[in-house]
Structure 1
Amino acid sequence: MIETIVLDVGETITRDDRYWASWADWLDIPRHTLSALVGAVVAQGRDNADALRLVRPGIDVAAERAAMEAAGRGERLDERDLYDDVWPALTALRDLGVRVVVAGNQTARAGELLRALGLPADLIATSEEWGVAKPQPEFFERVLEAAQAGPSRTVYVGDHPANDIIPAKAAGLRAAHIRRGPWGHLWADDPEVAAAADWRVDRLTELTAIITD
């Protein structure tokens, strides 16, 4: 019996459209150019921040993000950024008695913005708040602490093989790969992903069907 479901953030519960659009506008390049570069680094298995480094070699991403914030053009996240299945899926899981945790590689500011939405989740946390990021094993140790359930009774849901599915399985958790966003679509049929994922879903509302497995 699954007791806790932990969900990644970017391209699992939130769309990254506005995030990358804001970077493109800040760097004064066409939005489609940055989108294409994000796709290119995804296909190469690289960090998505490498797309910014291709546009501006030597960029200090953290410093640039702080400059955006200071200029009033910092991180924004609201209901428009959520996938349409988030509220019904999380609500249904809570109604079934499942503990719902949201935890991903995000800034502390993103954590504040997500919590402000009042999502039906028992806990929302980010890598910056925890001081450790995926795919480090320590991140998944924190996930298990937050889950308040054993690893075999905890499912980590995410789109990214290297950051979500494979390290979650290495930590002993069960894993659900969602076919969503560039990573989710590109790697959906990869044999390593197929072997590692306990479930593969297209929508978060499918998660209610797995909790008794």
Structure 2
Amino acid sequence: VPYRESIRGRADVEGKHKKQSGGRGQFGVAFVKFEPTGNGEEYEFVDAIKGGSIPRALIPAVDRGIQEALQRGLAAGFPVVGVRATVYDGKYHSVDSDEMSFRMAGIQAVKAATPSLQPTVLEPYVTLKVTAPEAYMGDIIGDLNSKRGRVGGMDAVGRNRVVTADVPLGEVQRYTIDLRSITGGRGSFELEFSHYEEMPPQEAQKVIAAATAADEE
């Protein structure tokens, strides 16, 4: 299931990368504010640097580092959406600062911010249309409710009824089998992607635990 993550919290952090191992070193510092976009945008990067505290040519590297870290996830390893990152200050060294240094500073900023960002898990919802004889509709709707579905309405099509519901994709992975069991093979369905929604905390913990266990294997 293509889960996503998002954030509820905010953070104001220093992302610092410093490496010295003989010869030329690496140095980059970026001060970044993270907050929810709140407008449906998957990601926004705001350049609020004034006075050249980070050279213009190196600011996109901070953006790349932040996006790279967000793609890896904060809690469960799923890409993070709905984040605004504002870089507003920084430090650089005329010799040791380069794109790699500031990309790493962006990555370090995400790591520093993670404890304050209150990550959440988003799950994909699908719109499910189920067609079956009316006699089975009570059981079909009861089953959809048990799958955390929200039934939207019912229409008559010939001798059949068509019920429409928004349901988490993770709950209908085996719906072909479930519907056959309920209707004795007399039902059919179609589904299409609808939207993402924040998972209930109890369900999210199961997904995070499963993802963590998979990483450890």
Shorter-normalised TM range: under 0.3
Query: Which protein has the bigger helix share?
Result: 1
Larger radius of gyration: 2
Query: Which protein has the bigger strand share?
Result: 2
When normalised by structure 1's length, the TM-score is: 0.23
When normalised by structure 2's length, the TM-score is: 0.23
